[in-house]
Amino acid sequence: MLFDTHAHYYDRAFDADRDEVLSALPGSGVGLVLCPGCDLPTSREAIALAERYPHVYAAAGVHPEDALNLPENWLTELERLTRHPKVKAIGEIGLDYYWKEVPRDLQKEVFRAQLTLATQLNLPVIVHDREAHGDCLAIVQDFPQVRGVFHCYSGSAEDAKQLIKWGWHLSFTGTITFKNARKAPEVIQAVPLERLMVETDAPYMAPTPYRGKRCDSRYVYRMAETIAEIKGLPVEEVVRITTENGKRLFAIN
């Protein structure tokens, strides 16, 4: 059974057939899905989906792209959302320096505030790090009690080893299946399977050979296959261990 640890099913791309897609997942081998929010409204939508489907769990958080114009009470409201029994993490949160509209200082402030909340609530976090590896590493180092996952990991093998040492997990999307993927195979080789997870980041980044199509969790087996090829392990083992890793990190029984 596969665990897609990162998929955005509230996205408008699923408006026409959301129920069809989500209902069919357990029958196609995907027994668990974690749906992270990007701001307060999408965190609420993720929770609503988790209430509706037993195999769907949620995370609540403010993505760096959405850090502008937050309501004054956003952190209190976020804390309230995390008290829902199906909210298993704070996410997605982090830094995105590709996205220039949101000043870096504000991104850092919102990231730190949510890491503080994660420490207080003892919840894992889902980190989005795009072109901000140095600052992301420096900031999480300031929160040694916080554990979680760097999703769609795009950093170096050296940084990956450091994160593993600090107790973090890494997860990989369809980008690892692309022919031009260079860094990811090196990272996957360098990191123990016990710290890896698979994800789609649906509706984005469909893996080869579905590239360009809308992505959904059925495709997550391609990420497990790719990790199995890189590590020279049976795919069943990669499926089993990555699912166990996700269940352990997010405290799902």
Contact 125, 91 (CB under 8 A): yes
Q: Return the residue nearest Ni ion (CB atom).
A: 201
| 54: its two tokens | 């037993």
Which of 81, 65, 78 has its CA nearest to residue 129? 65
Between 66 and 201, whose beta carbon lies closer to Ni ion?
Answer: 201
Nearest distance from C-beta of residue 91 to Ni ion, angstroms: 8
- Footprint (CB under 5 A) of Ni ion, residues 81-100: none
Residues 140-199 that bind Ni ion (CB under 5 A): none
Q: Helices then strands (H, E): number in the chain?
A: 9, 8
CA distance 223 to 207: 8
Nearer to Ni ion, 96 or 201 (CB): 201
In the complex with Ni ion, which residue's Cβ is closer, 43 or 144?
43
Cβ–Cβ under 8 Å, residues 154 and 178: no
Rounded to whole angstroms, the Cα distance separating 200 from 175 reads 9
Structure tokens at 253: 């029984």
Size of the site for Ni ion (CB under 5 A): 1
CA atoms within 13 A on the CB side of 130: 13
**Residue 210, helix vs strand vs coil:** coil
Q: Is the Cβ–Cβ distance between 243 and 213 less than 8 Å?
A: no
> How near is the Cβ of 92 to Ni ion at its closest, in Å?
5
Pick the stretch among 18-26, 141-149, 200-208, 238-246 that binds Ni ion (CB under 5 A): 200-208
Closest approach of Ni ion to the CB of residue 14, in Å: 14
Whole-number minimum distance, CB 144 to Ni ion, in Å? 25
What is the closest distance, in whole angstroms, from the C-beta atom of residue 213 to Ni ion in the complex?
A: 17
- In the complex, the smallest distance separating the C-beta of residue 237 from Ni ion, rounded to whole angstroms, is 26
Exposed, middle or buried, 236 (CB in 10 Å: 0-12/13-18/19+)? Answer: exposed
Q: Give the nearer residue to Ni ion in terms of CB position, either 39 or 201.
A: 201
**Which span sits near Ni ion by CB under 5 A: 14-22, 39-47, 172-180, 201-209?**
201-209
C-beta closer to Ni ion: residue 131 or 236: 131
Nearer to Ni ion, 4 or 201 (CB): 201
Q: Using CB under 5 A as the criterion, which residues of the chain lie in contact with Ni ion when the complex forms?
A: 201
